[in-house]
Chains A and B, each alone.
Chain A
Amino acid sequence: DSGVTQTPKHLITATGQRVTLRCSPRSGDLSVYWYQQSLDQGLQFLIQYYNGEERAKGNILERFSAQQFPDLHSELNLSSLELGDSALYFCASDDRAYGYTFGSGTRLTVV
């Protein structure tokens, strides 16, 4: 167990739908990062939150949004889903001593 918790582990939904992925960072970590990993692809940075505020944005589509709540958990909202959004979505939190720690990911399948 990495200490970073992601739910759900698997999600199957239809095109056009909206889903919410949840991440709780490791205790004491203030940052949450979201990454998308499509089949056999690398890790695409989506967005970073730090202590409730957006800090950095990567290649995140306008159909996607995220937020970090006062208890530091974060949610990634994906709307108007397309087949191409099928991927593994990872969140990570970081500790300056140990670097990034990833959660186990949410596998999203859009049918």
Chain B
Amino acid sequence: GENVEQHPSTLSVQEGDSAVIKCTYSDSASNYFPWYKQELGKRPQLIIDIRSNVGEKKDQRIAVTLNKTAKHFSLHITETQPEDSAVYFCAASMTGANNLFFGTGTRLTVIP
């Protein structure tokens, strides 16, 4: 099955700086890559996703890039704010199969 690796496991940045989280996947058939944000004790929430027919997608301060050849994708958060502090999970799946394989998570701390 699919194996998703995520780095780093923890990340601290100063407020206003950028944060980058990277993931790699193993199955070249995967074509859907969502990112989830999970605040302490709460449910994971989808923040952005990308499909394999595009290389980059942006939504305000959040962007995701995908390199299908290298089988890696990244989450970029610019102008970080304290409310961005959370655990972020990347995931991968094959459209049609629907089962998402998650990375192990990155705990992001934004220092005011």
Mask of B22-43 contacts with A, CB within 8 angstroms, 1/0: 0000000000101010000011
CB of A79 to closest CB in B, whole Å = 24
**B18 part of interface (Cβ distance < 8 Å):** no
Residues of A within 8 A of B43 (CB): 2, 90, 102-105
Given contacts A100-B34, A102-B44, A104-B43, contact A42 B103 (CB under 8 A): yes
Residues of B within 8 A of A103 (CB): 43
> B102 touching A99 by the CB < 8 A rule?
no
**A94 part of interface (Cβ distance < 8 Å):** yes
Q: Tell me what chain B mostly uses at the interface: helix, strand, loop, or mixed.
A: loop
Residues of A within 8 A of B98 (CB): 31, 48, 55, 94
Give the interface of A toward B (CB within 8 A).
Answer: 2, 31, 33, 41-43, 45, 48, 55-56, 58, 90, 94, 96, 98-105
CB of B24 to closest CB in A, whole Å = 15
Q: Tell me what chain A mostly uses at the interface: helix, strand, loop, or mixed.
A: strand
**B73 part of interface (Cβ distance < 8 Å):** no
Residues B27-73 near A (CB distance < 8 A):
32, 34, 36, 42-46, 49
Residues of B within 8 A of A96 (CB): 95
User: Would you list 13 pairs from A and B whose C-beta atoms are within 8 A, ordered by A residue?
Assistant: A33-B100, A41-B104, A41-B105, A42-B104, A45-B100, A55-B98, A55-B99, A90-B44, A98-B46, A99-B46, A99-B49, A102-B45, A105-B43
Question: Which residue of A42, A56, A90, A102 is within 8 Å of B105 (Cβ)?
Answer: A42
Among the interface residues B32, B42, B43, B49, which one has the most CB atoms of the partner chain A within 10 A? B43
Beta-carbon nearest neighbor of A44 in chain B: B102
How many chain B residues sit at the interface, stated as a range, is 20 to 34
Residues of B within 8 A of A33 (CB): 99-100
> A45 touching B99 by the CB < 8 A rule?
yes
Task: Give the docked Cα–Cα distance between A94 and B36 (Å).
Answer: 14
Beta-carbon nearest neighbor of A102 in chain B: B43
> A104 touching B42 by the CB < 8 A rule?
yes
